[in-house]
């Protein structure tokens, strides 16, 4: 079985998370981990699982992440298990800034819109969208988050 993990990343944290997810899936799948700029829609042919992850930037996925997904045809993910994740600031950091906290409550994070867009193209959601925490804007990841990402990936695997 084949899985692809597609990520965008400004400072490397989402890349590390994508690699941890790829590693966790590698027991069951032949896994390719690709930066969004390298991911080709042709690679979707014969794929069993597609995971897409983005840093949360201004409450959303990056433009490149959504361009990749929007380039997939309406039923392009039919028969493919899908999952979405993001990286994001910690709750403590967000709550320390009242304005940011207000907008986060309204607009949320990147993983949910990614997940919705994958399902809209026919993907079969294998687990709820998930966020993994970074320290500050540039990271590194909060301790234990890469392990949590691996566990999330293994939960996708069980659903597959």
Least spacing, CB of residue 36 vs ligand FMN, in Å: 11
Structure tokens at 65: 């992440």
Nearest to 60 by CA among 89, 39, 86, 79: 86
In whole angstroms, what separates CA 6 from the centre of its chain? 7
| Complex with ligand FMN: residue 81 or 85, whichever CB lies closer | 85
| Complex with ligand FMN: residue 11 or 48, whichever CB lies closer | 11
Q: Return d(Cα 1, Cα 28) in angstroms, integer.
A: 7
Q: Say how many residues make up the chain.
A: 160
How far, CA to CA in Å, does 55 sit from each of 2, 6, 62, 135? 24, 12, 7, 13
Structure tokens at 42: 């042709």
Binding site for ligand FMN (CB under 6 A): 9-14, 55-59, 87-89, 109, 134, 137, 139
Q: Phi, psi at residue 9, to the nearest 5°?
A: -165, 130
Least spacing, CB of residue 123 vs ligand FMN, in Å: 22
Least spacing, CB of residue 65 vs ligand FMN, in Å: 11
Least spacing, CB of residue 59 vs ligand FMN, in Å: 4
| Complex with ligand FMN: residue 81 or 88, whichever CB lies closer | 88
| Complex with ligand FMN: residue 58 or 105, whichever CB lies closer | 58
In whole angstroms, what separates CA 157 from the centre of its chain? 15
| Complex with ligand FMN: residue 57 or 124, whichever CB lies closer | 57
Least spacing, CB of residue 144 vs ligand FMN, in Å: 16
């Amino acid at each position: 079985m084949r899985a692809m993990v597609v990520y965008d990343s400004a400072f490397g944290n989402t890349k590390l998370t994508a690699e941890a997810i790829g590693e966790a899936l590698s027991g069951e799948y032949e896994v390719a981990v690709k930066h969004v700029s390298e991911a080709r829609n042709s690679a979707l042919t014969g794929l069993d699982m597609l995971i897409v992850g983005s840093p949360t930037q201004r409450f959303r996925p990056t433009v490149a992440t959504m361009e990749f997904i929007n380039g997939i045809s309406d039923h392009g993910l039919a028969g493919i298990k899908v999952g979405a994740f993001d990286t994001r600031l910690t709750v403590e950091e967000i709550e320390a800034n009242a304005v940011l906290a207000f907008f986060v409550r309204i607009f949320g994070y990147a993983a949910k819109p990614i997940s919705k867009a994958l399902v809209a193209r026919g993907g079969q959601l294998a687990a709820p969208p998930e966020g993994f925490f970074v320290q500050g804007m540039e990271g590194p990841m909060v301790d234990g988050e890469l392990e949590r990402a691996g566990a999330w990936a293994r939960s996708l695997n069980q659903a597959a």
